[in-house]
Amino acid sequence: MRSRKIPAAIAAAAAASMLLASCGGGSADDGATTGTLDFYTNKAAWEPDFDELNAQSEGDVDISLNTTGYSDAAQYDAFIKQSFRTDKSPGLFTWQTGPSLSELVDEGLVAETTDIWTKAVDEGWIAEDLKEAYTFDGKQYCVPMNVAYWVMYYNKPLFEEQGIAEPTTWAELDAAAEKLKGAGITPYYQTSTLFTFPWFQQLVAGTDPELYNGLATGEVKYTDPRIVEIMETWRAQQEAGWFSDAGSTVDPAVGLKQGDFAMINFGSFFNGSLDGAGMVSGQDYDMFVIPAVNPDLGTTPVAVESGPLCVAENSSQKTLGLEYAEWWMSPDAQTAWSAARGDVAFNPQATVADPILEELGTTVAGDGYERYDRYYEATPTPILTVALEQFGAFIANPGDPLPFLETIQAEADAYWADQG
């Protein structure tokens, strides 16, 4: 996950560089439709996966990626934002949906992809409702790099030993947690750093999706009594000992393998980490869609994380980047990507090698499921930064949730006042 904070020294250097380069502008599009495409990503660990796709893309559309990965999120942000003002605008780069993408679109910095989306939807390559996160003033920008569903992974032998079936209701999930705890097994993984938002996201959206969406738009306050009540539920679960040591430095995949906890709420890309830890899909671990907290919703909300691939509007490789983006939406590309990353494919015509991932994609695409944007992308950056810190503090030292929520709301009030 990317950190939105940029250290002062990096921010200052980036600002100076942009000032010096601002008169240069971008290079004219060279119009090439084949060749080597310069690709920049904040997911350095995924470089081998992107490189693995070159064999497929070279054969299909005669384009290969020259990938540069950044492991420092702040440096990556600074580089990308600086590049828009120079002749080094990237032909292809990763970003995130939500307010951060909206800012780039508003400044005219990313290329429109409406035609690509229209073709993909018409061909049945992608569900139309996924367009929303990429649509601004009726036009689309960027394409999904990936679509990950946030689900519950579990240690399958532990479930079998305790006679626990995959929960299909929230009451069954609570019962499973109680049974595990009673057997001396910690039910859930939790951390006070980085991924501090998943359980808040799950509790709020699973109780009332409109309440959840209202937080993202400022129509609902974090101090709303309904949010406070949800936080009290979370607090009670923590006090009951349902969560792992929030300060543990054990890799979560290793923790699940060795039974430090029985379940972990994570994105569907987590299969790769579990496989890397030596667990076998469908044998040592499995997954299920987390049931709605509120049984009267009628649908099951599922958090979706969609990271975009974007083309810079003023890049000399604009045409080449858009050619690759169109290919990326195809079944062949998504089949290759799913194999490389070990994740679901957003294209329903793609072949997914892992049976449990294939089943997940089919399940969530069916009736009875409502997709919503992951909290990290849905929340404006200044509010998100404070919220992640406060959730982490709440996890580390559970107590009266109101002071934590008041701190988040103070930042939200300041942010929305500036937007008015």
DSSP 163-226: TPPPPSSHHHHHHHHHHHHHTT---B---SSS--SHHHHHHHHHH-HHHHHHHHHTSS-TT-HH
Residue 287 and residue 279: Cα distance in Å, rounded? 13
Q: What is the pLDDT of residue 96?
A: 87
For the entire predicted model, the pTM comes to 0.83
- As given in the structure block, the two tokens for residue 409 are 């709301």
Q: What is the pLDDT of residue 22?
A: 36
If one counts every other C-beta atom within 10 angstroms of the C-beta of residue 110, the result is 23
User: Reduced to 3 DSSP states, what percent helix, strand and coil does the chain have, rounded to the nearest 5?
Assistant: 50, 15, 35
**3-state DSSP call for residue 417?**
helix
**3-state DSSP call for residue 324?**
helix
Q: Are strands 369-373 and 300-310 parallel, antiparallel or unpaired?
A: parallel
Q: Cα 257 from chain centroid? A: 23
Q: What is the pLDDT of residue 27?
A: 67
DSSP 276-303: HTTPPBTTTEEEEPPPPSSTTSSSEEEE
Q: Which run of H or E residues covers position 307?
A: strand 300-310
Q: What is the pLDDT of residue 128?
A: 86
Q: What is the pLDDT of residue 419?
A: 87
- As given in the structure block, the two tokens for residue 343 are 């994740």
Q: Which domains does the chain have, with CATH numbers?
A: 27-146+304-371 (3.40.190.10), 149-301+376-419 (3.40.190.10)
Q: What is the pLDDT of residue 129?
A: 82
Helix, strand counts (H, E) of the chain: 19, 10
Closest CA to 321 of 54, 95, 33: 33
Residues in the chain with pLDDT < 50? Answer: 1-25
Residue 227 and residue 163: Cα distance in Å, rounded? 34
Within 8 A by CB and 6+ apart from 305, the residues are 146, 147, 148, 149, 150, 267, 374, 376, 377
